[in-house]
Amino acid sequence: MDKFDRIYQLHRILAGRKTPVSLADLQERLGDCSRATVYRLLHVLEHYLHAPVEREHDPDGFRYRTDTAYELPGLWFNAEELQSLLVFQHYLRDLEPGLLGEHLAPIAARFDELVRHKRLGLGELGARVRVLGMAARPAGSWFGALAGATLQRRRARIRYHARGKDRITEREVSPQRVTRYRDNWYLDAWDHMRESLRTFSIDRVLHAAELAEAARDVPEADLDRHLASSYGIFAGRANKTAVLRFSALRARWVADERWHPEQSGQLLTDGRYELRIPYRDSQELVMDILRHGPEVEVVAPQALRAGVADALRRAAGQYGA
């Protein structure tokens, strides 16, 4: 029996008894498993599936409390576990050819086997739950080379086309991390030409070659401060705080959203919601503000407020007077 079968069998044993079942009896009835295995299963049953397990000492053994009726839940996963399972299954199925596919195929098969397990009630998972990507771009031809350089801790030479400036440059970089963000892949790297940390869209890399020279390692704490402190993927240590006020209607949604790990928010007396977000580069933040249209106002800083107002004026200009 596997773990899920044993949990199910343990529940059936305890649910059908009014007197305690000894540890030795449980070991035998669960397939001659060890004492440690029985204790682990009892722990899962009690602490994760909230079964009313109690230990009796006269005689020594385990049973369900007689004052509580209990059945195993139809779905054993909590929301976070189910979301993780779905995301892993989605990404493993949609891997592009050549991206470690041969090595990850056994893992994908194991996920499929888990989903089909008769004890978990997940048989309809594929048909009833979907994971939809938003504005995803193909990883490009050089994902493998850059991922390899990152894992092997080697420098890389890249030819990069920056969308914003529409300019192609040659860079020597020390890859630090490969990041999946909003369904797209990015390379966080030390740029030896700029002498600073930079983030590159991997799909905009026109060519990449791993070099023999060892990569420069940036301490994890420095990476987190530089790449995770400011808003979105546009890296840099946050040096400004955006203050946004959402209408009472939109507050019903935004108050429950997590835009940034270090955000703060409060409901105002008139029902509006005020959100404060640290950032450095406003490019991505402005895009997210604009999608809320007239339901949000930028209170501060003035430069961000002016930038959003200018973007709105130019957008309105597309439709004439």
Domain 143-225 in the same topology as domain 3-64: no
CATH topology of domain 143-225: SH3 type barrels. (2.30.30)
The larger pLDDT score, comparing residue 217 to residue 262, is at 217
Give residue-wise pLDDT tens across range 24-61.
888 888 888 888 888 888 888 888 878 888 888 877 88
- 79: confidence class by pLDDT, cuts 50, 70, 90: low
Mean pLDDT of 132-155: 80
Percent above pLDDT 90 for the chain = 26
Q: How far apart are CA 172 and CA 167, in angstroms?
A: 16
Q: Hey, what amino acid is at 274?
A: E
Helix (H, G, I), strand (E, B) or coil at 47: helix
Residue 125 has pLDDT above 70, yes or no: no
Rounded Cα–Cα distance for residues 83 and 111 (Å): 13
Q: Report the C-alpha gap between 225 and 145 in whole angstroms.
A: 27
Alpha helices in the chain (DSSP H): 3-15, 23-29, 35-47, 79-93, 101-115, 125-128, 143-152, 220-228, 248-254, 283-290, 302-317
Looking at the whole model, is its pTM more than 0.75?
A: no
Question: Which of 175, 171, 185 has the alpha carbon at shortest distance from 155?
Answer: 175
Please name the amino acid found at residue 211: L
Give the pLDDT band of residue 313 (cuts 50, 70, 90).
very high
Domain spanning 3-64, CATH class: mainly alpha
Instruction: In whole angstroms, give the CA distance from residue 44 to residue 161.
Output: 52
User: What are the sequence ranges of the domains in the chain?
Assistant: 3-64, 79-128, 143-225, 240-317
The DSSP bridge partners found for residue 187 are 178, 200
* Stretch 265-288: mean pLDDT: 90
